[in-house]
Amino acid sequence: MRGANAALGAAGLAAFLALGEAVPRLGLVEEDYFPPTSRIADALGTEIADGSFWTALGDTLTGWALGLAIAIGAGIVIGVVLSVVPYLREATASTIEFLRPIPSVALIPLAVLLYGTELRSVLLLVVYASFWQVLIQVLYGVQDVDPVAEETARSYGLGPWARVRHVLWPTALPYVMTGVRLAAAVALILAITAELVIGAPGLGARIAVARTSQAVPEMYALIVVAGLLGLLINVGARSVERRALAWHQSVRGEVAV
Amino acid sequence: MLDVRGLKKVYEGSGRRVEAVRDLTFSVAAGELVCLVGPSGCGKTTLLRCVGGLLRPTAGEVLLAGRKVDGPPPGMAFVFQEYGRSLFPWMRVGENVELPLRRKGLGKARRRELVADALGSVGLADAAGAYPWQLSGGMQQRVAIARALAYEPEVLLMDEPFAAVDAQTRADLEDLVRRLWRERSMTILFVTHDIDEAVYLGERVVVLSASPTVVREQLKVDLPHGRDQVHTRVAPRFAELRTRVYEQIQAAKRGTERPVKSPLPRQG
Amino acid sequence: MRRVLLRLVFVFALPAVLVTVWWVASAGSEDVYWPPLATVLETFPDVWTGERWRGDVLPSVLRLAAGYALAAVVGVALGTLVGSYRRVRAVCEPALEFLRAVPPPVLVPVIMLFAGIGDTMKIVVIAAGCVWPVLLNTVEGVRAVDAVTAETARSYGVTGVAWLRHVVLPSASPQIFAGLRQALSIGIILMVISEMFAASNGLGFTIVQFQRSFAIPGMWTGILLLGLLGFVLSALFRLVERRALGWYHGLRAAARRPGSSS
């Protein structure tokens, strides 16, 4: 069954690539705007042979990983503190509800003024966008702690730290992993956006350069790379999530918030 | 009304071949209440899904009023064990009961009438505006029964409908089924793993073997029509019948090929 | 009464503290990049005049609405199709996974090639970015229709349009809304950056103009307005979601109540 599905998927992918080749060749769209698959593949080959491409990829990954790590750390710590300290959750709820939907791209002009094209510009956007994903899931996860389990732990005299470690954290972990997965995807989007719009070095900036110099196949090749990067991150995050939760009888779905 | 002839169902997948039902033949007369009982895991659910047209049998056929069942026929209504999943949580109780009636091309007024009548019959006239998940498990199963009633089926199929409710609710629901059967002179095929329930409810009990399933014995339940939880269950005849079914099931579990030969005394 | 008072304190205390801190800390600020909050608020009505609301805010919001609506319709329709057929799903899944993984902002330069720099480009960019979360979540939701639910519908002859309308779409709606929520934040991002790239009006365009001309208080008002817009859209979304998924939240709450373990 799985083999058959993989074969069908491969066929679908092949058809997708063939379509990309045929549509411009048949003149259905302008070849200058939409180069056929083979030309994109050519350009991709040239890119891979180019050292500066790898530097750009490294820059993007650095911004992504660093921003994501900061967001995850801050999200978990703040989330746990907010839920453990009495009244803090209630007191911060309205502020979180207000700050969370603020689009991180609103900070672009500020980032430009403060940090120009430095890495810190990218980090500002990445951290702001992905922090909320983690925080919200942590808050939901802690809320899901079974009061009976919590009271049992209390009745056996477990201290606050032991309760966090043995009751709260295991319950919240599935949610945290969901938050990390969502944050990983968002972080990539914002890293590339920052590079594309602000011009911080990385894949996004390289795409912007390709665009202004009318190097259309190269631009497509870089977009394919960005897509593959996104795909790797999604698949990787999902498999980490599954592995971390293998012990959990029901890998929970994400909360619709 | 309902004829099952030589029914056989084999599941095949990923190199494994599981024969769930080997060779089943039985029939249900119009207006009869028949209980199918068998050891757990004996393919009762597979059988009922074949009868209801939800599964295609590997061999044999099911006839409803002389017509071959080939996909879910309009003359059958199904009550599932998992009421929580069988009722649509996004629809209110009234809408849940009404949805299948749209297929029948009835006018809005007629539909509303049927819904109100069915909900009234199961004692939930006031619950039409509630969501299923606002009701208790027993009430939810009443809603599922009301949906089947409103559909006005020729045959009502019930797949272990009371397996997931508590004992008291279960007794109430059993009496509800008996009452509805008598009031509406319906034909009911009721699957259960509970021997007492089968004997208490049925006019006839069909005892199934362990999987791969065949009919082990058919037993007429010669208890009076008017039954009640207090008196019927302590009647000597009830005890005899349930012992008889119990022995058959135990033998089926052990895999004895021949039926147990303890003669069942005729009621004097 | 005390309860209500306490709730009000919880809702307003921290925001009040934060605004006060900002106000006090920035008062008399000489730093060009961090003007006093008082100055920013004074500038607000001067910058966001009726003219600007009509000429910049409204076009931005309309483009967002058009692109988002397009993405929602296409995403749900295609997602239902793909999700309903196992083979179609197997064929499309890898290609869709790839397309979903492409960071949506890189669509801007591509779509500019085809659609120029007008409204069409921006609407298409927004739609092209928003469609994937909707589509893939719809596929998941449609695929996950409960087996007993499906059998019930089949046994009662609920098929065709009724099956889609009364069973599949409602049953998938929690996932569809999860996708729509992700799409909303992507949509706002794309609305802003498509205007930062090439535009002659719009919120993103205006904010970048302020930044480039070092009209810093103006830029800050733009950031505030954008934040406010994000907040309002998210609140609106929540309102719609509460109405549409009332049954789902009730069901979840009922399932969490002790004693209803069935």
CB atoms A109 and C33 under 8 Å: no
| Nearest of C109, C195, C116 to residue A218 by alpha carbon | C109
Cβ neighbors of B103 (< 8 A, separation 6 or more) are B74, C156, C157, C158, C162
- pLDDT at residue C3 in the model: 84
For residue C50, give both structure tokens: 């009726």
Mutation for C interface: B79, B80, B88, most C CBs within 10 A: B88
CB atoms C156 and B147 under 8 Å: yes
Q: What are phi and psi of B219, to 5 degrees?
A: -130, 125
| DSSP category for residue B87 | S
Q: Is the pLDDT of residue C156 over 80?
A: yes
| Beta bridge partner(s), residue B8 | B59
Distances in Å between the Cα of A160 and the Cα atoms of A43, A87, A150, A169 are 58, 16, 10, 12
Give me the half-sphere count of Cα atoms (radius 13 Å) on the Cβ side of residue A48: 9
Q: What are phi and psi of A139, to 5 degrees?
A: -60, -45
For residue A23, give both structure tokens: 């549509």
With respect to residue C171, please indicate whether it lies within any of the assigned structural domains.
yes
Q: Average of pLDDT values for A1-16?
A: 83
Q: Sort out which chain A residues have CB atoms less than 8 A from C90's CB and list them.
A: 4-5, 8-9, 12
Q: Give the whole-angstrom CA distance, residue A68 versus residue A60.
A: 12
Among C14, C90, C105, beta carbon nearest to A91:
C14
- pLDDT at residue C241 in the model: 94
Q: Give the whole-angstrom CA distance, residue A174 versus residue A177.
A: 5
- pLDDT at residue A100 in the model: 85
CB atoms under 10 Å from CB of B231, counted, come to: 11
Mutation for C interface: A148, A193, A218, most C CBs within 10 A: A193
Residue B96 at interface with chain C, using a CB cutoff of 8 Å:
no
Q: Is the pLDDT of residue C193 over 50?
A: yes
Give me chain C's average pLDDT, please.
89
CB atoms B133 and C170 under 8 Å: no
Sheet architecture: strand order including B76-79: B67-68, B59-64, B2-13, B16-28, B213-220, B204-208, B33-37, B187-192, B155-159, B76-79
| DSSP category for residue A117 | T
Query: Strand B59-64 to strand B187-192: parallel, antiparallel, or no bridges (unpaired)?
Result: unpaired
Q: How confident is the model at residue C262 (pLDDT cuts 50, 70, 90)?
A: very low
Residue A1 at interface with chain C, using a CB cutoff of 8 Å:
no
As its CATH architecture, domain A35-244 has Orthogonal Bundle (1.10)
Mutation for B interface: C145, C146, C152, most B CBs within 10 A: C152
Residue C101 at interface with chain A, using a CB cutoff of 8 Å:
yes
Distances in Å between the Cα of C260 and the Cα atoms of A94, B46, B90, B135, C254 are 32, 28, 18, 10, 7
CA distance B139 to chain C (A): 13
Query: Strand B155-159 to strand B187-192: parallel, antiparallel, or no bridges (unpaired)?
Result: parallel
Q: Sort out which chain A residues have CB atoms less than 8 A from C202's CB and list them.
A: none
Query: Strand B2-13 to strand B59-64: parallel, antiparallel, or no bridges (unpaired)?
Result: antiparallel
With respect to residue C159, please indicate whether it lies within any of the assigned structural domains.
yes
Q: In this predicted structure, which of A148-157, A178-187, B187-196, C130-139 has the lowest mean pLDDT?
A: A148-157
Q: How many domains does chain C have?
A: 1
Q: In this predicted structure, which of A147-156, A175-184, B235-244, C187-196 has the lowest mean pLDDT?
A: A147-156
CA distance B90 to chain C (A): 5
Gyration radius from chain A CA atoms? 22
**Which single residue is written with the structure tokens 């997965």?**
A181
| Nearest of C145, C143, C172, C150 to residue C83 by alpha carbon | C143
| Nearest of B113, B72, B115 to residue B97 by alpha carbon | B115
Give me chain A's average pLDDT, please.
86
| Beta bridge partner(s), residue B187 | B155
Dihedral of the CA atoms B53, B54, B57, B61 (nearest 10)? -10
Identify the domain containing residue C239 by its residue range. Answer: 52-243
C133 and C186 Cβ atoms separated by less than 8 Å: yes
Mutation for C interface: B64, B133, B140, most C CBs within 10 A: B133
Q: Sort out which chain A residues have CB atoms less than 8 A from C185's CB and list them.
A: 101, 103
Distances in Å between the Cα of C122 and the Cα atoms of C100, C126, C185 are 19, 6, 15
> Where are chain A's structural domains?
35-244
Give me the half-sphere count of Cα atoms (radius 13 Å) on the Cβ side of residue C183: 34
| Structure confidence by residue, pLDDT tens digits, A22-60 | 888 888 888 888 889 999 999 999 988 988 999 999 999
Residue B129 at interface with chain C, using a CB cutoff of 8 Å:
no
Q: How confident is the model at residue A63 (pLDDT cuts 50, 70, 90)?
A: very high
Q: Sort out which chain A residues have CB atoms less than 8 A from C234's CB and list them.
A: 100-101
CA distance C157 to chain A (A): 30
Among B49, B90, B100, beta carbon nearest to C157:
B100
A residues 187-206 closer than 8 Å to C (CB): 188-189, 192-193, 196-197, 204
The kind and range of the H/E element at C181 are helix C169-197
CB atoms A257 and C181 under 8 Å: yes
CB atoms under 10 Å from CB of C42, counted, come to: 13
CB atoms A108 and C196 under 8 Å: yes
| Structure confidence by residue, pLDDT tens digits, C10-36 | 888 888 899 999 888 888 888 888 888
| Nearest of B33, B18, B75 to residue B187 by alpha carbon | B33
Q: Give the whole-angstrom CA distance, residue C50 versus residue C37.
A: 22
CA distance C246 to chain B (A): 8
The CATH number linked to C70 is: 1.10.3720.10
> Where are chain B's structural domains?
1-75+155-268, 83-152
Q: Is the pLDDT of residue C168 over 50?
A: yes
CB atoms under 10 Å from CB of B97, counted, come to: 30
Among C151, C152, C251, beta carbon nearest to B89:
C251
CB atoms C155 and B76 under 8 Å: yes
Q: Give the whole-angstrom CA distance, residue A112 versus residue A121.
A: 7
CB atoms B131 and C167 under 8 Å: no
Mutation for A interface: C89, C106, C220, most A CBs within 10 A: C106
| Beta bridge partner(s), residue B192 | B37
Q: Average of pLDDT values for A128-146?
A: 89
CB atoms C152 and B133 under 8 Å: no
For residue A251, give both structure tokens: 């890998």
Q: Is the pLDDT of residue C161 over 60?
A: yes
Kindly state the greatest CA–CA separation across chain C.
75
Q: What are phi and psi of B251, to 5 degrees?
A: -65, -40
| List of long-range contacts for A62-65, beta carbons under 8 Å, 24+ apart | A62/A119, A63/A119, A63/A122, A63/A123, A63/A126, A63/A191, A63/A194, A63/A195, A63/A200, A63/A202, A64/A126, A64/A187, A64/A188, A64/A191, A64/A233
Residue A139 at interface with chain C, using a CB cutoff of 8 Å:
no
- Residue B184 sits at the vertex; the CA angle it makes with B178 and B188, to the nearest 5 degrees, is 55
CA distance B261 to chain C (A): 40
Q: Give the whole-angstrom CA distance, residue A218 versus residue A123.
A: 26
For residue A81, give both structure tokens: 């503190």
Residue B74 at interface with chain C, using a CB cutoff of 8 Å:
yes
| Beta bridge partner(s), residue B63 | B3, B68
Which residue in C has a C-alpha nearest to residue B91's C-alpha? C247
- pLDDT at residue C198 in the model: 78
pTM summary value: 0.86
- pLDDT at residue C258 in the model: 57
Q: Average of pLDDT values for A150-179?
A: 83
* Residues present in chain C in total: 262
C102 and C160 Cβ atoms separated by less than 8 Å: no
Q: Sort out which chain C residues have CB atoms less than 8 A from B105's CB and list them.
A: none
Question: What CATH number belongs to B1-75+155-268?
Answer: 3.40.50.300
CB atoms A211 and C109 under 8 Å: yes
Distances in Å between the Cα of B100 and the Cα atoms of B96, B126, C156 are 8, 20, 5
Mean pLDDT by 10 residues, chain B (268 residues): 90 80 91 90 85 90 90 90 91 93 86 94 92 93 94 92 89 92 91 92 91 86 86 90 90 66 53
| Nearest of C155, C149, C153 to residue B155 by alpha carbon | C155
- Strands (E) in C14-148, as ranges, are none
Q: Give the whole-angstrom CA distance, residue B94 versus residue B96.
A: 5
Q: Give the whole-angstrom CA distance, residue B125 versus residue A75.
A: 51
Chains interfacing with B (3 or more CB pairs < 8 Å): C
Omega cis (within 30) before B153: no
- pLDDT at residue B265 in the model: 58
